[in-house]
A and B are shown apart, each in its own frame.
Chain A
């Protein structure tokens, strides 16, 4: 595989690459934070450990991706993670949608996100910038456990009756538009030309819908309809356009960092 060194990036390429990495870093950071809110509150002990472990993984993945992006922008990883304004974040709305401590909302959110993240990492594994390819290889191996875990829950809830089934059906349909919006990442022609990311296959969303749809069908759950709306491209979180929820989360998340930016911990 041909590789590229950081020194060979043009300024435009650097910007496009950092934006791409921040989409993943911000998604992982915000969803990891949302998951961490469940520590001590999950329905059973094993799930308390599971959701806390998943949160720990996501935040750690974000930390490494921030460190990688930080080298290109001349800021520290902490500063990139905590020191930006909300419109500089590139996360998708799914990662900041409140779950109101409804377990079905958490499961639906993880289900849609983990399958998307797995597809994204498969593409990043082929990045010509080796540090991202190596890191993605490692993260993808860890994410397999998240996918197994959440698919198992989808099967269990789909196979249940009454309230549990009604709730997961409701959560899956409520979050589907957000799942679709995960695919609003910038196409990034310069990234494709520089082999920093393979060209997104036209069928990428179709692949996602098939993977997600197969898992739902196996669980006896309805497969949501509706795909990306071309009119919405560029309107969402990937362009830094967020709802009020992100500002609220960031105020809490970055509160300590902003007391003394640059402090050594």
Chain B
């Protein structure tokens, strides 16, 4: 028999390769099911074109295979339910903020927070807390982040996209 909690504990040790947040806190694990010696894990991509997905899948397969009783690991990439930033845990949000990445609050507006590049809007800077950010680019270093600039502390920061 496989202990599902043991599988979950292992998943919580796997970080997103591009941010200091575990894949469990990021909310991309939708379910873990065990049957005899087989484990099936449902994985939700943040973005369809996320190149980190294959790395994450590989790490899950390698690490979960070491859980006692596990003989095969099946990682299913699914789009139902769709991942949204609402799935990020409180701990995950704090980790991202310390890393300089803000997250949209629950049930906020969809799409970019600020539509036009250069226009100011309500978004607290993760470094100084000021409300003086302007959108630098709706595309950033990864598919799920966009770039803002804080006029108060003159730092650039990133914001997770609401999809």
**Would A149 and B82 count as touching, CB distance under 8 A?**
no
Q: Give the size range of A's interface with the partner.
A: 20 to 34
CB pair B82 A141 closer than 8 Å: yes
Least Cβ–Cβ distance between B44 and chain A, in angstroms: 9
Q: Which residues of A sit under 8 angstroms from B138, Cβ to Cβ?
A: 50, 145, 148-149
Q: Which of B51, B78, B82 has the most CB of A within 10 A?
A: B82
Which A residues lie within 8 Å of B117 (CB)? 46, 152
Are B49 and A57 in contact, CB atoms less than 8 angstroms apart?
A: yes
Contacting pair B161 A145 (CB below 8 A): yes
Stretch at the interface among B12-20, B30-38, B107-115: B107-115
- Pick the interface stretch among A19-27, A92-100, A131-139, A228-236: A131-139
What's the nearest-Cβ distance from chain A to residue B143, in Å? Answer: 6
Residue of B nearest to A153 (CB): B117
Q: Contact at A149–B163, with CB atoms within 8 Å?
A: no
Interface digits, B93-125 against A, CB 8 Å rule (1 contact, 0 not)?
000000000000000001110011100000000
With a CB–CB cut-off of 8 A, which chain B residues contact A152?
115-117
A142 CB within 8 Å of chain B = yes
For window 201-238 of A, CB contacts with B under 8 Å fall at none
Q: Which partner residue on chain A sits nearest B110 by CB separation?
A: A144
- What residue of chain A has the Cβ atom nearest to residue B82's Cβ? A138
- Minimum CB distance partner of B47 in chain A: A142
Which of B111, B140, B147 is the one whose CB lies under 8 Å from A148? B111
Q: CB < 8 Å: which of A50, A61, A139, A141 contacts B110?
A: A141
Q: Is the CB of B139 within 8 A of A53?
A: yes
Contact of B80 among A49, A50, A54, A134 (CB under 8 A): A134
Known A56-B49, A60-B47, A148-B138; further 9 A-B contacts with Cβ < 8 A? A49-B141, A53-B143, A57-B143, A137-B80, A138-B45, A138-B163, A145-B161, A148-B112, A148-B115
